[in-house]
Structure 1
Amino acid sequence: MKSLSIIIALLVNTAFVMAQKPDSAGVPVKTKTVDGTVVTSANNLVANIALSSELTTLSNAINVSGLADTLSSGTITFFAPVNKAFEKLAPGFIDTLTQPAHKAELIALVKNHALSGRFTSKDFERQIKAGNGQTGFTTLSGGVITARINENRNIVLTDENGNQSIVTRLDIDQSNGMLFIVTAVLLPKAKE
């Protein structure tokens, strides 16, 4: 019985050490569970999005738009809408955007969820405080996302059309930036 306890203790220690195993740059690899899927900071954001069963619509949009390579390199902060967020859009909206004739619109939609650089929730909080309760961020599509903190201490994002999305999962480290899970799709400003 004592040797069984020792073996179990060794296995637990080994698992803990492996979970903290540094990547090739010597940085400890972090893992988080996102909707039942374990994602790791050793993966880029496109790879981690593809792993989650709650982000399949987004993953498809990234691939169809041709932005997988762009979003796999460079330093990016990405707001990932869950599948239910896309279901709130008008019926057929995403099906239309994934057609070749609407590729430019799909690219704008995906890029409207991405910021150049790596931002943590603490970075957002500091900038919101410095902006007297809200601050704006320019997305890769050129649009502006406004961020504020609501009465429940959630980060709330608002697109240029007034649509609001709540950040439900914060600070998911990626090899090329930071991932946040959000409740709604952030639409680019409608062209006039």
Structure 2
Amino acid sequence: MKDTLKKWLGGLLIVGMVGCGSAETDSASSSSQVSNKSVGQSGVKDDVSNPNVVQVAVGSADHSTLVAALQAADYVDALTNVGPFTVFAPVNTAFDELPAGTLESLVKPENQRKLRDILEYHVLLGVYKKGDFLSGRKMGTADGRSVEINVDEAGEVYVNGGKILGTVEASNGIIHVIDKVLVPN
């Protein structure tokens, strides 16, 4: 009886090892994997889960300038983490409204910290839906400053004068699309 039990447990152990081995092979070839480069959370390829705030921005033709700025500021990994975040995401045309040469200057490597400060000024820690914003409320941003919220009579929400055009939920927070680049004073 003991010999039969040993053989049966040994067989289970071998089946378990083979099964684990094939699971490792399967997971290595699946769409959810880490690239071989030494990168942070943004290096994880995942086409199955709900997209995070950066993946949503990457998928939006209206946010290509924002994505380029996130990359130049080395801020992609921070926003692909768990969060939760509320991100005020300026559309491409909002960047066009900046004074001539501003964006070109900010994306230079020597201005990376300044660009990152500006991008962090667009991020709140926690999830704030449009209905959570109250007129006159000041909200602390990821860079340690505050933005001011205003709600007009029609219920339109403005952040430092930038109008929220739409809202998209993401796996690690919420994105409010805005028509203005928020520049800290």
Question: One fold, TM greater than 0.5?
Answer: yes
Tell me the residue number matched to 2:91.
Answer: 82
CA RMSD of aligned residues (A): 1.4
1:88 aligned partner, one-letter code? E
Give the CA deviation at 1:185. 0.4
Matched, 1:152 2:160: no
1:169 aligned partner, one-letter code? G
1:147 aligned partner, one-letter code? I
Structural mapping, 1:1-192, within 5 Å: 42-73=50-81, 74-124=83-133, 128=134, 133-158=135-160, 164-170=161-167, 172-189=168-185
1:103 aligned partner, one-letter code? Q
TM-score, normalised via structure 1 length: 0.69
**Gapped runs of 5+ residues in structure 2?**
1-47
- Structure 1's 41 and 111: CA in aligned 2 closer, same or farther, altered over 3 A? farther
Q: % of aligned pairs identical?
A: 27
Give the CA deviation at 1:75. 1.0
- Structure 1's 41 and 64: CA in aligned 2 closer, same or farther, altered over 3 A? same
- Structure 1's 123 and 41: CA in aligned 2 closer, same or farther, altered over 3 A? farther
- The separation in 2 between residues aligned to 1:79 and 1:121, in whole angstroms, is 11
- The separation in 1 between residues aligned to 2:155 and 2:126, in whole angstroms, is 24
- The separation in 2 between residues aligned to 1:80 and 1:41, in whole angstroms, is 22
**Gapped runs of 5+ residues in structure 1?**
1-39, 159-163
- The separation in 2 between residues aligned to 1:89 and 1:54, in whole angstroms, is 16
- The separation in 1 between residues aligned to 2:150 and 2:99, in whole angstroms, is 26
Do 1:81 and 1:185's aligned partners in 2 also have CA atoms closer than 8 Å?
yes
1:156 aligned partner, one-letter code? Y
Runs of at least 4 residues off by over 2 Å: none
1:68 aligned partner, one-letter code? V
TM-score, normalised via structure 2 length: 0.71
